[in-house]
Amino acid sequence: MNIKQLRYVVAIANTGTFREASEQLYVSQPSMSIAVKDLETELGFKIFERLNTGVNLTISGERFYEQAQSVLRDFDTFEAKYLAPTAMPHSFSVASQHYDFLAPVSVEFSEKNPEIKNIRLFESTTYNILSEVSDGLSDVGIAYLNNHNRLGITRMLEKLDLDFEELMTFKTHIYLRQSHPLADKDFVTNEDLRHLSRARFTQENEQFLYYSEDLVETFENTKIYNVTDRASLNGILERTDAYATGSGFIDKESVHGIRVIPLEDGNANTLIFIKKKGQVLSEVAKSYKRSLENYFEQNKF
């Protein structure tokens, strides 16, 4: 039994056919079929029931599949942490806070790098982003620094053996529905926001304020909608007088009915590109960074 055979089993179970699994893993179908048959012989039981339309897991196969997934998750984490970035040339993963520019940037990146067949965008909490890059599950990470979080975040980067490059500086912007009472203002102030509800992204480590994606402080007695994804956040903004904070870069093709207004007394924030400490960026990672820079240059305020 070997890791390659486990990958075959998981891919076949996930896709339902040897053909799709072989295409996904870039191996020939006959080679995969022989490897799985050899594994079944070694184990002494059938993993799959072969059908004309594909395959089904047997009862023993279901138990094996579940354990194989667990083994592969641990192995992939270990492998990604220590292998060079060029070891998996067909994949690229970005871990990021919730930004609307991820979609257009990733599309441009994909068009310029057709050899990359699997592009993963992992939008999550700040802690998960740092862990993803540290564990090697994502090639790079995207987050922000300002006066409120810089010390805490840089300490965590150091602890996790991570480094960063600065991408660009942006002013805090407020996100509102287009019919919001503040929507016609050229800028807003903290006082304008004092009595409004707000929507924000949940963090699992709420006790550490430097993990927050909020770019303004929360006022006392503020009603807060805590969400985990941008679709929910935008839906709340479209239906209420609540506001959210962000970089000001918005994907107009995906987000409708939202107005973005600069906060006059807001923080100066720096978007950062996170990588493993001492690691030279791969050509693919450099290409993604260029796509980010191109986007900011074309959409600067």
Give tens-digit pLDDT for 161-208.
999 999 999 999 999 999 999 999 999 999 999 999 999 999 876 557
**Burial group, residue 240, by CB count within 10 angstroms (0-12, 13-18, 19+):** middle
| pLDDT value for 288 | 96
User: Is pLDDT larger for residue 205 or for residue 281?
Assistant: 281
Asked if residues 229 and 202 have their Cβ atoms less than 8 Å apart, the reply is no
User: Is pLDDT larger for residue 241 or for residue 90?
Assistant: 241
DSSP string, 99-153: -TTHHHHHHHHHHH-TT--EEEEEE--HHHHHHHHHTTSSSEEEEEE-TTTHHHH
Against a cut of 0.85, is the pTM above it? no
Going 207 to 210 to 211 to 213, the CA torsion angle's sign is: positive
Instruction: For residue 92, give Cα distances in angstroms to 61, 139, 151, 284.
Output: 31, 6, 29, 8
Give tens-digit pLDDT for 4-19.
999 999 999 999 999 9
Domains and CATH numbers, the chain: 3-82 (1.10.10.10), 87-168+270-298 (3.40.190.10), 170-269 (3.40.190.290)
Q: How many Å apart are CA 158 and CA 152, to the nearest integer?
A: 10
Give tens-digit pLDDT for 104-147.
999 999 999 999 988 999 999 999 999 999 988 899 999 999 98
